[in-house]
Amino acid sequence: MNKTMRVITGVQNQRDVEIETGREYIVQPLNPQKLKNRGRHCLVLDFVPRSGSNANDIVAKVRYIDNNRIGRAELSDLIPV
């Protein structure tokens, strides 16, 4: 069963992305100083709450294609391939 989430972010630079589990995305943050994982391809596995914070604060659980490891990525940082 695929889950879909629509993300609208940014004040100056806006990004409207519909994120669906099972699809491939690229980590591309709007903030140019945010370099961690930039340009990496990943597969979205699920949507999970951020560790140690409010249950409404959601991040994507992803599997990075280059090394097959599981990690988390901000929803606003993902763009479709």
What is the topology classification, in CATH, of domain 4-80?
SH3 type barrels. (2.30.30)
pLDDT band at 79 (very low <50, low <70, confident <90, very high): very high
Comparing CA positions, the residue from 42, 44, 75 lying closest to residue 58 is 75
Across residues 18-30, what is the average pLDDT? 93
Rounded CA separation 28/53 (Å): 23
Rg of the chain, C-alpha, whole Å: 12
Residues 6+ apart with CB under 8 A from 28: 38, 39, 77, 78, 79
Query: What is the model's pTM?
Result: 0.83
Residue 11 banded pLDDT, cuts 50, 70, 90: low
User: Structural domain boundaries of the chain?
Assistant: 4-80
